[in-house]
């Protein structure tokens, strides 16, 4: 059993570590939603299993699945992967799982954010998100880890932290009327400070175009380490991402991190543009909540990778740019093995490798 605490992490001396810090395990959730994942999620399940295998070589993997999917998940996942019977409405563990915190004594606790399917009544992707919202609390309880229930609608993909006091987010997402319409930027900054243990919040204006998460930061930028980031970059003036990434770079060049350091920015190529094919769209079960149409532009990004112990696992998205992305990642992470996994099926659901994972710090 775990306790739900009435204090804040900052009061108790807890902080969210950077993704580059040592990890105990990586969390995932098993996909099955037929109106998001084509062909009853079979191709997505194969992709999730491939990601789990790549991570499990370096870091233990824990996968949450519904009772109906436990047997199938067990047959497709490596034997070393731990399976937990916790259902969810969809499978974006970064957004529905807890954000883990540590203190100087090595204790670990989790933040359970409020979740409303990326926009609730304003522009949420589905009407019932009750299982998603409950997952973090159930997981923490099952693991016997204390829980902070934050008074903030927030998805884990909307924040990046460096573990040294800095948080990077986007105004497009956190200031969206579908999240916390009663809160202004300063109040949101205060809550991020209280619940992540950060001292400085840097607001990028926007995330990738056509990102149905309202511009999650993890789909355009990734923190590699203290004062070092990778930013999606587009050199085609006709592409809307051309302006977006320059706005982000301008912000980063004007800002300093929580310790006063200027940012080193590495540019990752923008894949594509990539679009949904007619065959892919035809394999998705029609619904009123999530509409997937042939020709729709996908929010594809190499920044949507996972740093884990000794490895970086990134999505292969575009043969024209995969090798360049790998080379850049290897140069930024010389002490880690860079592993590419076909990310197309995950991308079709609306995100990628970072979106479907959530690290538990060591």
Q: Is 59 exposed, middle or buried (0-12, 13-18, 19+ CB in 10 A)?
A: buried
Catalytic-role residue among 64, 173, 245, 355: 355
Q: Is 355 a catalytic residue?
A: yes
Tokens of 244: 């977006």
Are 159 and 121 a contacting pair, CB within 8 Å? Answer: no
* DSSP secondary structure string for all residues of 127-182: S--HHHHHHHHHHHHHHT--EEEEEEE--GGG-EE-SSSEEEEEHHHHT-TTT-TT
* DSSP secondary structure string for all residues of 288-336: SS----TTPBP---TT--EEETTEEEEEE--TTTHHHHHHHHHHH-TTS
In sequence order, which residues have a C-beta less than 8 Å from that of residue 286 and are 6 or more positions away?
A: 35
Sign of CA dihedral 14, 361, 21, 212: negative
Number of DSSP helices (H) and strands (E) in the chain, helices first:
12, 16
What backbone torsions phi and psi does residue 23 show, to the nearest 5 degrees? -125, 145
DSSP 270: P
Q: In sequence order, which ranges of the chain are alpha helices (DSSP H)?
A: 9-12, 42-56, 70-76, 93-96, 120-123, 130-143, 171-174, 185-196, 240-254, 278-282, 322-332, 344-348
DSSP 219: G
Tokens of 111: 């933040």
Are 203 and 194 a contacting pair, CB within 8 Å? Answer: no
Are 28 and 346 a contacting pair, CB within 8 Å? Answer: no
Place of tokens 């563990």: 93
The catalytic site residues sit at 355
């Amino acid at each position: 059993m775990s306790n739900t605490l009435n204090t804040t992490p900052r009061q108790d001396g807890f902080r969210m570590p950077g993704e580059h810090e040592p990890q105990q395990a990586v969390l995932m959730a098993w996909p099955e939603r037929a109106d998001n994942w084509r062909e009853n999620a079979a191709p997505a399940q194969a992709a999730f299993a491939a990601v789990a295998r790549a991570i499990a070589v370096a870091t233990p993997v824990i996968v949450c699945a519904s009772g109906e999917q436990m047997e199938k998940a067990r047959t497709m996942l490596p034997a070393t992967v731990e399976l937990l019977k916790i259902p969810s409405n969809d499978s974006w563990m970064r957004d529905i799982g807890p954000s883990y915190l540590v203190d100087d004594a090595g204790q670990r606790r989790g933040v359970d954010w409020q979740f409303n399917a990326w926009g609730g009544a304003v522009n949420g992707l589905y009407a019932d998100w009750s299982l998603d919202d409950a997952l973090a609390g159930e997981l923490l309880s099952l693991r016997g880890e204390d829980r902070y229930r934050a008074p903030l609608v927030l998805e884990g993909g909307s924040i990046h932290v460096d573990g040294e006091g800095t948080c990077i987010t986007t105004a497009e997402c956190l200031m969206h009327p579908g999240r916390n319409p009663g809160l202004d930027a300063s109040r949101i900054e205060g809550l991020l400070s209280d619940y992540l243990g950060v001292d400085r919040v840097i607001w990028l204006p926007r995330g990738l175009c056509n990102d149905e998460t309202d511009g999650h930061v993890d789909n355009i930028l990734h923190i590699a380490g203290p004062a070092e980031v990778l930013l999606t970059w587009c050199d085609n003036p006709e592409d809307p991402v051309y302006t977006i990434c320059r706005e982000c770079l301008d912000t980063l060049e004007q800002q300093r991190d929580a310790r006063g350091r200027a940012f080193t920015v590495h540019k990752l190529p923008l894949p594509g543009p990539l679009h949904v094919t007619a065959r892919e769209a035809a394999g998705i079960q029609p619904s009123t909540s999530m509409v997937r149409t042939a020709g729709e532009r996908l929010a594809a990004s190499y920044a949507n990778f996972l740093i884990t112990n000794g490895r970086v696992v990134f999505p292969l998205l575009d043969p024209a740019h995969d090798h360049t992305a790998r080379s850049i990642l290897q140069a930024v992470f010389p002490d880690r093995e860079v592993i590419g996994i076909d990310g197309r099926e995950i991308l079709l659901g609306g995100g990628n490798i970072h979106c479907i994972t959530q690290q538990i710090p060591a």
